[in-house]
Structure formats: structure tokens, C-alpha cells
Amino acid sequence: MNRAFQIVLVAALAPFSAAAAQGTLSTQGFGYPPGQLSTRARATGGAISEFDADSPVNPAAIALSGEPRMFLAYEPEFRRITSGSNTSNTTTARFPVFSASVPFFSHSSIGISASTFLDRSAATSITREQEVAGTISTVTETTRFLGALNDLRLAFGWAPSQKFQVGLGVHAYTGQNRVFFSQSFPDSLKFASISQTTTLGFRGYAGSAGILVRPSRNIGFAISGRKGQKIETRGDSSAVSEANVPDRVGVAIAYEGIPGSSISVHAAKEMWSSLNGLGSSNATAVDAWEGGFGVESLGPRVIGRQTVLRLGSRYRTLPFLAAGEEVKELSFAGGIGAQFFRNRANFDVTLERAGRKVNGNVDAKERAYILSFGLRVRP
């Protein structure tokens, strides 16, 4: 085998690198799942998400929207990652949920929504020693990930009676992950810097269905599910990898027997392992359980406005393993909401504190404060 052929062979066989460098517990793999929760649902630990028309979880929830409505949430997350004696503080700004619905004939509504399914926003910068042609040099590697996998849903909800709602949804998964990678050396005469930009697009589909049952005025039950279809990542106009959108099933119970208050619990399981194969072997997804508990109650009048107070807690496991270990997230939240403009606008604020950790000997933990601002209008 001649030299030139050997070189070409080496280049051809050079492995493509996976960009598994997000550097946090929560943004491993394809990223962090904000949960597709409205500001109100986030404050109750996600417990009312199955009943909430603004959270694109259960399509049956929009059935009783008697008039057009729109909702937009803005959620900055202030995260601190600690590993050994090293600490990093980050700020991630998200618009995780937009939803809108309009009545459709009598007792039914159709709605659209766009929500963040997995947010991969992260950046790392490390400096290390690298041997290059016999010379040890300092190299600074910076990797920056921007973008998310988003869930676009078209939903139809029908309420034949006040006690029963049913809904169907079709989902399209779109979005981009842009990866910026650079290697730079201090001696620019000897070494040339490397800069690579990669854009990864998503294309996937799923269907969802849900039911709400209210056998009495004091209690409600909800169940919803999502059946995932194929999802693929695309590079320059060609598919890079494919897997399935995770199936999901969720149930919830709401008790409204105390005047002015609502107590809810929910549980859900998301089959994230369906995403295995969409990324490299470094991005291992595992099925995850989620459970939440929340209370919503009328609060005091402030500046002449009736307020609603909310408290909740949520526990879940995150979809992607970090250093081979499952990431657990426990969060506590509180929020307040009020109506404005002759009750045609609702403004909600939620503060959630989330702690994330892993089992085993992985010396890393994460704590985050998520502020959620939600505006709902009924034009």
C-alpha cells in the first residue's frame, strides 16, 4: 500500500465526532425538556397540566375554551453547576410555550401550539495541553450549542357535556441544533485555529389523544397519551440519523371540593429511550417517570385585583444519562396570577427552584431557578 493511499485511507476512516460536550447535567444529549408547561402549570408542579388549555399536553383540555385565547410564556433559567471546587453560573432565556385556540362549532375547539421539547442551549470552554508534532501546546476548545427540538401541535377538543372532554392532536417536531466548535492556540505563527459550524435539523411526527372526566363538581380525572412516529435529524439536505418520537402517557386527578381552591396530582411516563439512535452512543436516553403535586387557591386582592396563588412540587428523571448515570430533578415552585384589562388578560409569574443530581460517583450537581412569565389574552 503506497503512502498516498495510506493517507487517504486514514482520512476516510477518521471518525466523525459527536458533540457531547454540553457540560451540564440537564443539557446532556439533545438537551433539557422544559416540560411543555404553562406558567400556571409550572407553579403547581405540573399537576394541572393535564387540565390546562395553555399547556400542550392533553388535547382534551382545550375543548371547553369558550372563546378565542392565546398564551405566551417567557422563562429565563438561572443555573449553577458545581463539580468539585468548580462552579459555573449560566442564564438561559426561553420562550417555551405558545398556544392559541378558537371555538369550533359548539362544544369544541381547535388549537395550535409551539413548545420547546428539548432545549440544547449550552456552551463550554476548556483549556488543556495537546501534543502537536512533538510540541506540547496549550489549546483552548470552545463548543457552543444553540437551538432546540420543538413540538408543533394541531389539536381538536370536543366536550359533549360538562363532564366529559375528549381531544386529539397531531404533532410535528422541528427545529435546529447549531454547534459551533473552535480550537485555538496561543502561538498563531506555529498553529492555525480550527473553527467548525454544524447545523442539525429535525423532522418528526406524533399523534396524541386525551380524555377529561368530571364525574362531580369536586373532582376531575385526566388521561392523555402520545404515540410517537419516526423522527430524523438532517444535515445538508440528507438524513443523518433516525429514531422515534417518545411515547408518553400521563394521568392526573384534580380535587376542587374546597371553595376557591384546587388540589391536583399527576404522574407521567415518557419513553425517552425511543430517541436512542438519533444521537451517538454518547447520548443515551432512558425512560423517565414524572410526578407532581400542586395547589391553586384564590389569594388576596392586590391593587384591586383578585390574585390566584399557586404552590407545587415536581419530581422527575431527565431523559439523557450524564456520565452514564440517571439525572434526577426535584423542584419546588410558587406563583401568583391576576387578571387585567377587564379580565381579558391574565398575567402569571412563577418561580421554580430545581435541584438536579446523579447517583454514583459523579461529582456534579446542579441547581436552577426558573422564572416563568405567562401572558394569556382573550381578544
Partner 1 sequence: MKSNSGRVRLTGLAILTAIIAAACTEKLDNSAGCPILCPDQGGQIETVTLDAVTFDSTVSALTGQGTELELLLATRGDTLDSRAIIRFDTIPDRYRRPGADTTSIEVTTVDSAFLRLRVDTVGGKVPATLSLDLYDVNSDAADTAVSAIASLFTPERLITSALFAKSELKDTINIAIPGQAILARKGGRMRIGIRARAPESVQLRLLSQEGAGSPSILSYRVSPDTTIAKVVLAPSSRTPVNQPILANSFADYTLLVKGTATGPASQLNIGGLPARRVYMRFNLPAFITDSVDVVRATLLLTQQPNIGLDPGDTILIIPNVGLAANSVTDVAKAAQIAATVNTDTLKVTPSGSGLKTLELANVIALWRAQKITDTPRALILVTTLEGTSPLEARFYPIEAAPELRPRLRISYSARKSTGLP
Q: Which residues ranging from 198 to 217 are in contact with partner 1 (CB under 8 A)? A: 198-200
Cβ contacts of 180 within 8 Å, gap of 6 or more: 142, 143, 144, 145, 146, 195, 196, 197
Residue 11: enclosing H or E segment and its boundaries? helix 3-13
Please provide the DSSP assignment of 251-309 as one string: EEEEE--STTEEEEEEEEEE-GGGGTTTS-TT--B--EEEEEEEEEEEEEEETTEEEEE
Residue 232 binds partner 1 (CB under 8 A):
no
Residue 136 binds partner 1 (CB under 8 A):
no
Residue 121 binds partner 1 (CB under 8 A):
yes
Residue from 66, 125, 215, 217 in contact with partner 1 (CB under 8 A): 125
Q: Which of residues 254-313 bind partner 1 (CB under 8 A)?
A: 278-280, 282-283, 303-304
Residue 174 binds partner 1 (CB under 8 A):
no
Residue among 181, 203, 183, 201 nearest 192 (CA) = 183
Size of the site for partner 1 (CB under 8 A): 90
At 60 the three-state DSSP class reads helix
Give the interface segment with partner 1, choosing from 59-67, 97-105, 140-148, 207-215 (CB under 8 A): 140-148
Of the pair 181, 315, the CB lying nearest partner 1 is at 181
Give bridge partners of residue 246 from the DSSP assignment: none
Of the pair 139, 267, the CB lying nearest partner 1 is at 139
Residue 1 binds partner 1 (CB under 8 A):
no
Residue 25 binds partner 1 (CB under 8 A):
yes
Residue 143 binds partner 1 (CB under 8 A):
yes
Q: Which of residues 360-379 bind partner 1 (CB under 8 A)?
A: 362-364, 371, 373
Of the pair 184, 261, the CB lying nearest partner 1 is at 184
d(Cα 357, Cα 363) in Å, to the nearest integer?
9
**198 neighbors 170 (Cβ within 8 angstroms):** no
Residue 322 Cβ vs partner 1, minimum distance, rounded to whole Å: 6
Residue from 1, 2, 93, 129 in contact with partner 1 (CB under 8 A): 93
d(Cα 370, Cα 78) in Å, to the nearest integer?
6
